[in-house]
Amino acid sequence: MIFIYKVIFREERCKGCTLCETVCPKKIISMSSKLNDSGHYVAQIVHHKEKDCIGCGFCFRMCPDSVITIVENKGE
């Protein structure tokens, strides 16, 4: 069984600290050019790398503002 992980960001809470980006072992998180309502650049998953997430949770644990949720889906 293969597990597929999806990282979800609550963009309105992101302060653009880049901590999630620095701890990702797969380097699939980057800061976007999009600003949230507070004027901060928000974190995002690089589109062509979303399937590379291993669900380690480093980004989730490192985020000081509880911006990140990781969802696990069973694939085939």
Q: Which CATH architecture has domain 2-75?
A: 2-Layer Sandwich (3.30)
Cβ neighbourhood burial of 33 (10 Å; 0-12, 13-18, 19+):
exposed
Each residue's pLDDT tens digit in the chain (76 positions)? 678 999 999 999 999 999 999 999 999 999 999 999 999 999 999 988 999 999 999 999 999 999 999 999 876 5
Q: Rounded to whole angstroms, how far apart are CA atoms 29 and 62?
A: 13
CB atoms within 10 A of CB 10: 14
pTM attached to this predicted model: 0.87
Domain spans of the chain?
A: 2-75
Q: Which two tokens stand for residue 32?
A: 């976007």
Segment holding 62, helix H or strand E: helix 58-62
